[in-house]
Structure 1
Amino acid sequence: MKREIRLTGSGGQGLILAGIILAESAIMSSINAIQSQSYGPEARGGASKSEVIISDEEINFPKVICPDLLLCLTQKAYDQYGKNIKKNGILIVDSSVNISNNISANNFYKIPIIKTAKEKVGREMVANIVALGAIKEVTQMVNTESLKNAILARVPQGSEDLNMKAFDEGQLLIKNM
């Protein structure tokens, strides 16, 4: 089992943290994982990308070549990365993203990640955790307990309940489809 994951959006959406959490949750489950990141020179609003490779074997190359799962939270991210996904891959986009008719992924989910963070959880800043809940529900690649523990280990003290609600709402986005 080897999964390549690319989380894309803009700076300030917490995708680097989401990638770190995803990798740490795999490690907590005794699965090999590596995370890398890149972002534009702007602190907020510039391009942001976090890549995670999860494998039950040794990971020899730390970069995602062609993702099994691609998350796009912005139109710019989709325009840049939306065509580069494995044919049998999973594409998750925020409902604000306009997609082309030529989706290369077999499994496609257009869900209101940012809107859910704002309206159901009450804070847009937890959209990354909403996305992790959705990713968990779609892929089942890491167990729920490990992912929740990794979230709780990384989020700011005092925001644990907010982030757990965000995670649960992300799972519900997929369950209620």
Structure 2
Amino acid sequence: MAVTDRTELRLAGAGGQGLILGMQILFRALGLEGKRAAQSQSYEPTSRGGYCYSDLILSRDASDYPLVTGLDVIAALSQVGIERSLPFIKPGALVIVDERLVETPPTGPFKLHVLPLSERAAAIGSPKVANIIALGAMAKLSGVCGRDALEEAVRLETPPKFADLNLAALKEGFALDHLALADA
């Protein structure tokens, strides 16, 4: 996927899944690469389990509107995350959903990849890193950001005691591209 003058990305799911942190990491990585971006988020007032998303607008020039109007890339870690985001998904967009947490994957004129995000997170030691696995898959499949910058951003944005686990999760996300291509 080529980055255009304006590329809109979203991590969506439920509160407590680390979606905001995921986009903060991507935002930092894009900054390390010298790219322009704006990041925003929204969540329901419940602290865990309510609808939550975090968006990132990547643009070549200063964006005149820093909020999503049409998603080019989305990774959803829950059914509600994908359902509430569907109206914003552009035709031809890259759509990544968790195979376990999104029981009914969407259909439409987009590139859908159903991936074992939460399963892989549990396998490497913590279900809490599904967000970072999704981030790695999103970056790899979209080409929006390089792996080196993402690794550095993980080191900068996460507590040192979780850095190794998050770096392992990022590596896992980048490795999922062979599965995603089989789904395409």
Aligned-pair CA distance for 1:88: 1.4
The runs of 5 or more residues in structure 1 that have no matched partner are none
Q: Please give the alpha-carbon distance, in whole angstroms, between the structure 2 residues aligned to 1:137 and 1:22.
A: 12
List structure 1 segments (4+ residues) > 2 angstroms apart after TM superposition.
none
Q: Which residue of 2 aligns with 1:99?
A: 105
Aligned-pair CA distance for 1:175: 2.5
Spell out the pairing of 1:1-177 with structure 2 (5 A cutoff): 1=4, 2-96=6-100, 97=102, 98-100=104-106, 102-105=107-110, 107-119=111-123, 121-176=124-179, 177=182
Preserved contact between residue 105 and residue 114 of structure 2 (Cα < 8 Å) = no
Post-superposition CA distance 1:118-173 (Å, at most 9, x none): 12x11011111101110111011111111111111111221111111100111111
Aligned-pair CA distance for 1:24: 1.3
Secondary structure at 2:96 match in 1: strand
Aligned partner letter, 1:95: E
The runs of 5 or more residues in structure 2 that have no matched partner are none
Aligned partner letter, 2:125: G
Secondary structure at 2:90 match in 1: coil
TM-score normalised to structure 2 length: 0.90
Aligned-pair CA distance for 1:83: 4.2
| Range with bigger deviation, 54-63 or 10-19 | 54-63
Between the two proteins, what is the percent identity of the paired residues? 33
Secondary structure at 1:82 match in 2: helix
Aligned partner letter, 2:116: P
| Range with bigger deviation, 74-83 or 33-42 | 74-83
Secondary structure at 1:89 match in 2: strand
Aligned-pair CA distance for 1:104: 2.9
Q: Please give the alpha-carbon distance, in whole angstroms, between the structure 2 residues aligned to 1:84 and 1:109.
A: 17
TM-score normalised to structure 1 length: 0.94
Aligned-pair CA distance for 1:53: 0.6
Preserved contact between residue 83 and residue 103 of structure 1 (Cα < 8 Å) = no
Q: Please give the alpha-carbon distance, in whole angstroms, between the structure 2 residues aligned to 1:84 and 1:33.
A: 19
Aligned-pair CA distance for 1:84: 2.6
Aligned length: 174
